[in-house]
Structure formats: structure tokens, C-alpha cells
Amino acid sequence: MSAADDLARASRRLYALGWMRGTSGNVSVRDGAEILVTASGIDKSAVEPTDAVLIDARGEALPEQHARPSAEAPVHASVITELGAGAVVHVHSLAAVEAAARWPEGVPLIDVEQLKGIGRGAHGDAVTVPVVANSQDMADLSARILAALEPGVPGVIVAEHGLYAWGSSLGEAIDRTESFDWLFDHALRLDRLRQPGG
């Protein structure tokens, strides 16, 4: 199974979870010294290995690529090169966007078993997932994400946009993305339950 196969399979799985509506979202994976990212503007329900584009450390396509990389490729490249991640997942998770709207200074997650899914403890652990403002300038967005990192938290929410999550492998990045989505959804529901009259 090649890295391009893994990328295609991951995209279809994340689409099936409802987090890559339209042509949104993108996935990247380190393949030896190279980085593969999903091509721009493609339907993630039907991604094929040929939709993987090789990019450099700035997120620009290497020579002789048949498609343009995702517009968000520079963010993927900077997380992989600056943090040493093996893979990055970017999804337009509704729960992530809503949690960032509710907690614009960072989303608090406390005492939940599912925290283990992002590499944390369960009971007794408290985590704040950083929230950064959105930008159409990818260098700017990359810098905001790197500046906002919380130690031991493998993800950042971009307000009114979505989630970036990463891991040492594509499998780990996907697992963490799924756990983040569950944790944000849970935090929002708990918050509503605790509202007066909720």
C-alpha cells in the first residue's frame, strides 16, 4: 500500500464522516523525504491515489505534478516540517467550528475518557485546544497555528473554518481527528445541558 493509496483511503473515510463536504478538507502525509497532499478542488468521496500531489516544505508542488495541490498545502507543509508530524488532517468539522464560536479563547476539555484518543489522560486531565482566527493568507495562517500550539495538544481549530490535527502517522492523525470531533461535540452538548433551562 503506497502513501498515495493511504491518502485516498483517508480522504474517502473522512468524507464519509461528513467532514469534507463539497470539496472542503485536505490530507497530507510524509513519505520519506517527501510530502504528499490531496489535490485542489476534488470531491473527497472519490479521491484516487492519482489525486495525491508531491509538495515541498513550503507547500508548493514539485515539478511535473499533474494537478495543483490543495490551497491549504502550505499549512500542511509547515506542520509537517516544523513539528515533525508524519501526517496532517484538515476537516471542516461542524463541532470544531461551533466549539470555537462558543470558546473563542480556546476550547476547554476536562475529565473525559475520549481525551485518551488525543494522547492525553482521562480523569484529572484538562486540555485547552487553541483557536486561531481564519486567514486566506496561508503563510499567515501557518504562523498563527504554530504560535498558538499548546504542548501535548495535537490540533488547532481555525475559527469559522475547521480543524487541523496531526500525528506521527496518517492513522494516528485520523484517530485524533475523530476524537477531537467527539470531544467538541460532547463539550457543546454538556454546555447546553448546564445552561439554565437547558
Which residues contact Zn ion by CB under 5 A? 162
Q: Least CB distance from residue 38 to Zn ion, whole Å?
A: 11
Quick one: angle between helices 170-193 and 3-16, nearest 10?
A: 20
- Under 8 Å CB-to-CB from 164, ≥6 apart: which residues? 75, 79, 88, 89, 90, 145, 155, 156, 158
C-alpha cell at 160: 469559522
Grid cell 513550503 is found at 58
Nearer to Zn ion, 34 or 160 (CB): 160
81 bridge partner residues: none
Nearer to Zn ion, 71 or 147 (CB): 71
Tell me which residue has its CB nearest to Zn ion.
162
Q: Least CB distance from residue 120 to Zn ion, whole Å?
A: 25
CA–CA separation, 140 and 142 (whole Å): 5
Per DSSP, 64 falls in state T
Q: Least CB distance from residue 158 to Zn ion, whole Å?
A: 7
Nearer to Zn ion, 114 or 134 (CB): 134
Nearer to Zn ion, 154 or 162 (CB): 162
Nearer to Zn ion, 115 or 184 (CB): 184
Helices (H), the chain: 3-16, 73-83, 94-102, 138-148, 170-193
Q: Least CB distance from residue 75 to Zn ion, whole Å?
A: 9
Q: Least CB distance from residue 108 to Zn ion, whole Å?
A: 24
